[in-house]
Structure 1
Amino acid sequence: MDKIAEKFPKGVLHALIGEKKFSLSRLQPSAEIGYFVQHYWIVRWDLRGQAPYSQVVIAHPNVNLVFEKGASGIFGVAKTTSSHLLKEQGWVFGIKFKPGGFYPFLQAPVSTLTGGVIGLEEVFGIDTNQLEAEILSQPDDAAMLRLAEQLLTAHMPEQDPNTALVADIVQMIQQDRTILRVEDVVHLTGMNKRTMQRMFDRYVGVSPKSVIQRYRLHEAAERMDQGTAGDWLDLSIALGYYDHSHFIRDFRSIVGVSPEEYRQYK
């Protein structure tokens, strides 16, 4: 069982506060399952004797299959942010599919899941509560991972070449900070814009424009958390915005507060 470096991913808001409240582990899938799955993740917390803590995330463009006591399910990409209330003691085990990686299991546009959650019964024909109890009762991370891999292996679809194509495009958007508009992706890939939009609707669940926006706001939040954002004009220019008012509107529409309110949060 290989562990990925346990660094909080971008998109976890106020990460310096969050890392004092919970721990995050990420585990590699097997080679075959790795065609569809980005990684497994486990969040643990112990806030006994402390106030509950709400962790907010700017969602990545990934479907997650989550096992948590009384709240398990298959979660589509959140439209804005997603939040999770941590209280007392607990843990969550999750399967993070690659962008496009859940479509071969679902065999329906992933956009039908966007902003929502469904039970395992609807995709895998398995009782959600029963599998939740089995996975969360395992003695260690490796045992939980084995059960998850058994589930996916038993329902393994054929590899869809569009899954790898979409995952590569999303990774390019994430890593190439010069990509600021959908037209930039069209230029780099040579794909027709409308074809790309249809593919993202079917395989990812959100538009290419939304994916670009999410990753740029991930960058903004990280810089603010680390105290390296500078003024809003400089930050907006660095993120590819034409003016800082556009950046501020985007940030507020997704995060729910202005950049200044976010930066002042302690």
Structure 2
Amino acid sequence: MVSPTRGVLYPARLPEFHRLPPEAAARDLAVWFWIPEWSIEPGRSSRQEIVGYPALNLVVEQGVVTLSGATTRASHRDLRGTGWAVGALLRPAAVAALVDDPAMLVDTEQTVDAPELVEAVSAAMASGEGRRERAVAVFSDWLLRRVGPLDDAARHPNALVEVLMGDDSADTIEEAAMRLAVSTRTLQRLCHRHVGVSPAAMIRRRRLQEAAERLRLDPGIDLSGLAAELGYADHAHLTRDFRNILGMAPRTYRTGSSEQSPDESAQT
């Protein structure tokens, strides 16, 4: 599993937050489960800013199940009061059982009629110590029943996650297609069918997530060297990506992330 905070722009603002692996039988269906729990004092909020993974998320929260698509920009959410959420970062093999066209969900979400999932996860999260593990277990079980048995053809698109987003990911569409033993045209179709965005967009997102994480962990890092290391054409290319997706320059993000403290996330 990659860094537990990759994709989170300001980890100091996070409430209690966990990423847990799925049950063994559901590893072909979910990359991981993510569970935030929060208790914000009245009159205040905590803004969570995310540059999300190019994938679909199935989320149980406040008595509702939602299916969220991949995003094209950084997003945020203001947490208030007391609550929790249990989300599954879905692998491509799980997508077809939940939505016909994931491209229609890019930058949006839809509700899923699954009262039995809400009931099971809510009961698990109310059960005290070990609640997160129990929530993952019942969520994994629901996914297994919803998706049904997978054959090799159904599992094949899962390789997209490792080839395009893993620690040893491809730097170009051509390299990704070669690793998957498919044509670039087939790779394009697989990404649109199972994720909703292009392989180029997935590669850019992985680069940007890693760039943000590296800047946060090492504020003194040389931007030109970082750009070259991550496969950007030059420093200007990295800066354009930052501005287009995060709405700020790398230097601005570097300064803000290094100065951020937990108390600064509280807003009136």
- Asked whether the equivalents of residues 56 and 81 of structure 1 are also in contact (C-alpha less than 8 Å), the reply is yes
2:209 maps to which residue?
218
1:190 pairs with one of 181, 186, 208: 181
User: Aligned pair in 2 of structure 1 residues 215, 221: CA closer, same or farther (>3 Å)?
Assistant: same
1:35 maps to which residue?
28
User: Considering only aligned residues, what root-mean-square deviation do their CA atoms show, in Å?
Assistant: 2.8
Identity %: 26
In 2, Cα distance between equivalents of 1:71 and 1:205: 23
* Deviant stretches of 4+, over 4 Å: 126-139
In 2, Cα distance between equivalents of 1:187 and 1:22: 41
1:94 pairs with one of 87, 94, 103: 87
Question: Residue type matched to 2:78 in 1?
Answer: L
User: Aligned pair in 2 of structure 1 residues 152, 178: CA closer, same or farther (>3 Å)?
Assistant: closer
Q: Tell me the CA shift for residue 87 of structure 1.
A: 2.4
- Asked whether the equivalents of residues 104 and 158 of structure 1 are also in contact (C-alpha less than 8 Å), the reply is no
Q: Tell me the CA shift for residue 150 of structure 1.
A: 4.3
Q: Tell me the CA shift for residue 153 of structure 1.
A: 3.7
In 2, Cα distance between equivalents of 1:14 and 1:222: 10
Structure 1, residues 45-96: CA drift from partner, whole Å, max 9, x if none? Answer: 2332684221111111221111222664111112222222122332111122
Q: Tell me the CA shift for residue 229 of structure 1.
A: 5.6
Q: Tell me the CA shift for residue 138 of structure 1.
A: 4.7
Unaligned runs of 5+ in 2: 260-268
In 1, Cα distance between equivalents of 2:96 and 2:149: 7
1:74 pairs with one of 39, 42, 67: 67
In 1, Cα distance between equivalents of 2:225 and 2:237: 13
Task: Please report the TM-score for the alignment, with normalisation by the length of structure 2.
Answer: 0.82
Question: Residue type matched to 2:208 in 1?
Answer: L
Q: Structure 1 residue 10 and structure 2 residue 6: aligned?
A: yes
In 1, Cα distance between equivalents of 2:180 and 2:254: 36
Task: Please report the TM-score for the alignment, with normalisation by the length of structure 1.
Answer: 0.83
2:110 maps to which residue?
118
Indicate the structure whose relative CO is greater, using CA pairs within 8 Å and at least 6 residues apart: 2
Question: Residue type matched to 1:11 in 2?
Answer: G
| Range with bigger deviation, 241-250 or 177-186 | 177-186
SS of 1:248's partner is helix
Q: Structure 1 residue 206 and structure 2 residue 197: aligned?
A: yes
User: Aligned pair in 2 of structure 1 residues 132, 147: CA closer, same or farther (>3 Å)?
Assistant: closer
Unaligned runs of 5+ in 1: none
SS of 1:225's partner is helix
